[in-house]
Amino acid sequence: MRKVYLDHAATTPVRQEVLDAMMHVFKEVYGNPSSIHQFGRPARKLMEEAREKVAKAINADPKEIVFTGSGTEADNIAIVGGARANKKKGNHLITTVVEHHAVLDAFKALEKEGFEVTYLPVDAEGRISVEDFKNALRDDTVLVSIMHGNNEVGTIMPIEEIGATCRERKILFHTDAVQTVGKIPVDVKAINCDFLALSGHKIYGPKGIGVLYMRRGVRTQPLYFGGGQERKLRPGTENVANIVGLSVAIELAVAEMAEESARLSVLRDKLIDGILNNIEETRLNGPREGRLPHNVNVSIEYIEGEALLLSCDMKGFAASSGSACTSGSLDPSHVLMAMGLTHTTAHGSLRLSLGKSTSEEDIDYVIEQLKPIADRLRAMSPVWEKFQKGLPIT
Ligand SMILES: *Cc1c(COP(=O)(O)O)cnc(C)c1O
């Protein structure tokens, strides 16, 4: 049976070039980068070269790059640290209802500390309105966090406009760019952000490594204490192998971006059209235009997402319903609900995220397999039966 991995938004396999670079560190460069002897110095050198590569990939200065333990941690240092460090200036924060939990839960924690948070709504395609954002701004607004590209439905947010407004009003602006790095251009100067988070394992690098971009002169606070590493913002002995791995991954991702994103966009559209045309009562979640090149999210109405995923898995293709973090719970995705989907429609959603290994044959295979899966599950679905009889569905 064909094995098709279509969950690249959840994680990606480590590419060979990254593995080779990391293997070299594990085998040959095991010194502590803080040690000044002949074993420590090469580790320090590799780490600083990695910092330069990452900086170059997002148009930053190497001094503005902080290595963290994950994308989640980078989001937290920016948001929680940034809000706490600037508390004297004001108490109001702004984000959106469709953020990743790494961002949403950080704001929830800040609310418990007494901060006031405005959660911007989104339209039916998952996009915030710049006007809503401007109306939410207050004199005591100190920090804004709006994701670059959504991990569930692929919507790209208008962050350049948000960034420009924040810069003008001297409000800190953070963006979670975990899903966009290597897919669409990410330039910290064009975005006008003060903080930006990215992650290694979404770009064919290792898991457990992230980057916080922090604009020169901007203040935040560490969440851990214990050493001087990463300018005291992320103390703990540096994970040199992961840092080197991430730097190779981001360098290659950016170099290959134009060609690979164009290829993925064609496959993405073929998959969307194939599903919508072949299976009745399906809908696309997220926009047609302004969508991440690797993201497909559809609702196959009157089917349970969990059953759908299991059937896909039995046919050899791996997908996800909602996001990997939320499947496991029975609540429908907060992103789809915020876009105005009903419970039943949100429950029948399927995210298929494409990547380097995805071929046109894979896409044909999935389109061909999904129709009989949908037919079989609907034949067992009481809601489908109601729909067919024209009865009301709750
Ligand atoms: C995966 C992801 C994260 C979390 O990154 P980790 O490195 O897994 O902690 C944060 N935000 C978005 C949008 C993501 O897709």
Ligand 1 atom at minimum distance from 201 CA: 7
Average pLDDT (206-230) is 96
Is the distance from CB of 323 to CB of 100 less than 8 angstroms? yes
Question: 348 a known binding residue?
Answer: no
How far away, in angstroms, is 332 Cα from ligand 1 center?
Answer: 19
Do 195 and 331 share a domain, yes or no? no
Count of structural domains, the chain: 2
Do 100 and 215 share a domain, yes or no? yes
Could you tell me how many helices (H) and strands (E) the chain has, helices first? 14, 12
Neighbours of 258 (CB within 10 A): 10
Ligand 1 atom at minimum distance from 150 CA: 13
Quote the CA–CA distance of 339 and 123 in Å, as a whole number: 6
Tell me the CATH number at 300.
Answer: 3.90.1150.10
How far away, in angstroms, is 198 Cα from ligand 1 center?
Answer: 8
Backbone angles phi, psi at 333, to 5 degrees: -55, 135
How far away, in angstroms, is 38 Cα from ligand 1 center?
Answer: 36
- Which residue, 43, 79, 41, 75, is CA-closest to 243? 43
Q: From atom 6 of ligand 1, which residue's Cα is the shortest distance away?
A: 71
Domain for residue 147, yes or no?
yes
- 250-303 pLDDT, tens per residue? 999 999 999 999 999 999 999 999 999 999 999 999 999 999 999 999 999 999
Do 181 and 207 share a domain, yes or no? yes
Domain for residue 386, yes or no?
no
- 91-122 pLDDT, tens per residue? 999 999 999 999 999 999 999 999 999 999 99
- Of 227, 253, 279, the position where a domain reaches its end is 253
How far away, in angstroms, is 378 Cα from ligand 1 center?
Answer: 33
Range 225-228, long-range pairs (CB < 8 A, 24+ positions): 227/34, 228/34
Ligand 1 atom at minimum distance from 9 CA: 15
Is the distance from CB of 80 to CB of 109 less than 8 angstroms? yes
For a pocket test of ligand 1, which of 70, 100, 250 has the largest count of ligand atoms closer than 8 A to its C-beta? 100
Do 323 and 219 share a domain, yes or no? no
Do 347 and 201 share a domain, yes or no? no
Domain for residue 186, yes or no?
yes
Question: 229 a known binding residue?
Answer: no
Tell me the CATH number at 33.
Answer: 3.40.640.10
Is residue 312 part of the annotated active site? The answer reads: no
- Of 209, 230, 253, the position where a domain reaches its end is 253
Under the banding of pLDDT at 50, 70 and 90, the label for residue 304 is: confident
Domain for residue 364, yes or no?
yes
Domain for residue 61, yes or no?
yes
Which entry of 166, 193, 312, 325 is annotated as an active-site residue?
A: 325
Domain for residue 175, yes or no?
yes
Is the distance from CB of 89 to CB of 230 less than 8 angstroms? no
Domain for residue 166, yes or no?
yes
Do 246 and 167 share a domain, yes or no? yes
Do 72 and 48 share a domain, yes or no? yes
Domain limits at 363?
4-10+257-376
- 121-173 pLDDT, tens per residue? 999 999 999 999 999 999 999 999 999 999 999 999 999 999 999 999 999 99
Under the banding of pLDDT at 50, 70 and 90, the label for residue 182 is: very high
Question: 236 a known binding residue?
Answer: no
Do 292 and 274 share a domain, yes or no? yes
Is the distance from CB of 116 to CB of 92 less than 8 angstroms? yes
For a pocket test of ligand 1, which of 12, 176, 196 has the largest count of ligand atoms closer than 8 A to its C-beta? 176
- Of 186, 221, 253, the position where a domain reaches its end is 253
Do 274 and 209 share a domain, yes or no? no
Residues near 133 by beta carbon (within 8 Å), at least 6 away in sequence: 94, 120, 144, 146, 162, 165
Q: How much is the pLDDT for 322?
A: 61
Do 229 and 295 share a domain, yes or no? no
Do 110 and 226 share a domain, yes or no? yes
Domain for residue 390, yes or no?
no
Quote the CA–CA distance of 68 and 212 in Å, as a whole number: 7
Do 249 and 291 share a domain, yes or no? no
